[in-house]
Amino acid sequence: MDRRFFLKSSAAALTFAVAGRGISRAAEVPSGVLESRLRKAGKYDVVVCGGGPAGFTAAVAASRQGAKVALVERYGFLGGMATMGYVAPISEFAFGGERVIGGIPWEFVQRLEALGGAYVEWPKGNVDFDIELYKLCAQRMVLEAGVDLYMRSSLIGVEMSGRELCSVIIENKNGLEQLQATRFIDATGDGDLAWMAGVPMQGNPEGELQPSSFCFVLSGVDTDSPLLRRYMYHSGKKGSSQCTPVRDKLLELKKNGAELPDFGGPWFNSVMHAGSVAVNITRSAADSTDNRNFTRAECRLREDIFRFTQALREHFPEFKNCYVSSTAPQAGIRESRRILGAHTVTAEEYVSGIKYPDSISRGAHQIDMHASKGSGQVLIKLEQAAYVPYRALIADGFPNLIVAGRCISADRKSLASLRVQASCMGIGQAAGAAAARSLKEGRAVQSVDIQGLVEVLRSWGAFV
């Protein structure tokens, strides 16, 4: 079969996608021109794109199953939203006080804890972490597993033979590089690889996405005050862990005419250093798959960071000396592209904790849907810890592609729970193991021996 190259094109916008518009495939480019400019950088069993919670866990898992693995990440560090979005804590490893996510994700937490970079809050198993030690710990685990790291490398294209992926094209200081492999994992959060490969995506009939939030670290905060001690930790709370006294005051100020932008929460999250907190307060509708749209939103949110900081200084003694010590490398993304997989997880299945014949991971976090406008948030409790089926990670007809993390096949509501980091790590672990096993078994990813996969995951400590 002819091999064809597909590169990102500008038709990626998602927000206003109606009946398939805007979720079209990347643009095909003539292979002759492109191939002459590509440097063949490596040949692998498994290439993982995206080094966030799902991606770095997938890379470690595939490598521990004996595969030769490359991990591609566009930033110079691993951790995804945890380290590029200052999103904290890692939620949630436990349901009803019992841990439901284990294996490599939990090993990561324990290693981070041993470095002094994690604090586990029970009974929910939320994990506060030190952002810099997170990067170090993830990098160590990946390198120790023998994974080849391609950092500061953006995935920009894919080579296809029919519906089989042959290589990915990445762009970095070396120019355009080609990584060949027999199995591929898309852990880019935005489903960049699957989209370029032509995998059908979930539509967006509501024309709405959960908002972006630009998180930042405030220092000079009185973290010993009763207010911060009460609201900086999340596991002891019923419902939302937002800081109600600050929220109420900000809403009152707005009502009385203060020019404050829309906000969420706010949530003040421990970064494990006295005097500093990671703040999640800003909020704007944004489409991360459309660069212009996202740039505009980020610029506006950066302004908002300083407006809220000023308001906190003026109205709360705990914040009177605070200052913005750093802003996250980018605004956080809650929702964007998701594949239309062999099975789409629905909220009903997820909340009731349906066990599938191919369950490969769990989820413990409540459904947590943020309104794209205003300060609203919908929370729905899980009846029991949820399951994620392997079929949500694969698309019919694409024999060597697995998707991991928040771009798996899920409806909007179930995504609003399974997008949290512990769940994404559990999904990544399963994706990595499945990719390596499908190769060993000489089968398409659709025909992986599920029982064998589950046995491997259980041997690592997963609760599936």
Ligand X SMILES: Cc1cc2nc3c(=O)[nH]c(=O)nc-3n(C[C@H](O)[C@H](O)[C@H](O)COP(=O)(O)OP(=O)(O)OC[C@H]3O[C@@H](n4cnc5c(N)ncnc54)[C@H](O)[C@@H]3O)c2cc1C
To which H or E segment does residue 380 belong? strand 377-380
Site for ligand X in 262-281 (CB under 6 A): 280
Place of tokens 């809403």: 251
Choice between 332 and 399, CB closer to ligand X? 332
Query: Does 155 interact with ligand X (rule: CB under 6 A)?
Result: yes
Query: Does 227 interact with ligand X (rule: CB under 6 A)?
Result: no
Pairing of strands 118-121, 126-129: antiparallel
Closest Cα to residue 365, out of 162, 73, 93, 167?
93
| Residue 426 φ/ψ region, left for φ over 0, alpha for ψ in the -120 to 50 degree band, beta for the rest | alpha
Choice between 72 and 142, CB closer to ligand X? 72
Compute the distance between CA of residue 262 and CA of residue 376 in angstroms, rounded to an integer: 10
Least distance to ligand X from the beta carbon of 71, Å?
9
Tokens of 253: 């100020």
> Binding ligand X by CB under 6 A: which of 424, 435, 462, 464?
424
**Which range touches ligand X (CB under 6 A), out of 16-24, 290-298, 418-426, 446-454?**
418-426
Compute the distance between CA of residue 179 and CA of residue 161 in angstroms, rounded to an integer: 15
Closest Cα to residue 271, out of 328, 330, 319, 332?
328
Site for ligand X in 336-395 (CB under 6 A): none
Query: Does 240 interact with ligand X (rule: CB under 6 A)?
Result: no
- Kindly state the DSSP code that residue 265 receives in the 8-state scheme: E
Tokens of 321: 């000396």
> Binding ligand X by CB under 6 A: which of 24, 31, 154, 346?
154
For the beta carbon of residue 439, count every other beta carbon within 10 angstroms: 22
For the beta carbon of residue 288, count every other beta carbon within 10 angstroms: 24
> Binding ligand X by CB under 6 A: which of 64, 99, 337, 419?
419
**Which range touches ligand X (CB under 6 A), out of 9-17, 83-91, 314-322, 338-346?**
83-91
Site for ligand X in 183-222 (CB under 6 A): 187-190, 192, 213, 215
Query: Does 420 interact with ligand X (rule: CB under 6 A)?
Result: yes
> Binding ligand X by CB under 6 A: which of 69, 84, 101, 351?
84
Least distance to ligand X from the beta carbon of 82, Å?
6
> Binding ligand X by CB under 6 A: which of 103, 266, 405, 426?
405
Site for ligand X in 22-51 (CB under 6 A): 49-51
Residue type, 50: G
Compute the residue count for the chain: 464
Choice between 128 and 321, CB closer to ligand X? 128
Choice between 73 and 358, CB closer to ligand X? 73
How many residues touch ligand X under the rule CB under 6 A: the total is 38
For residue 220, the SS3 value is coil
Tokens of 2: 């002819």
Q: CA 243: distance to chain centroid?
A: 24
Contacts with ligand X by CB under 6 A lie at 49-55, 72-75, 80-81, 84-85, 87, 89-91, 154-155, 187-190, 192, 213, 215, 280, 332-334, 405-406, 419-421, 424
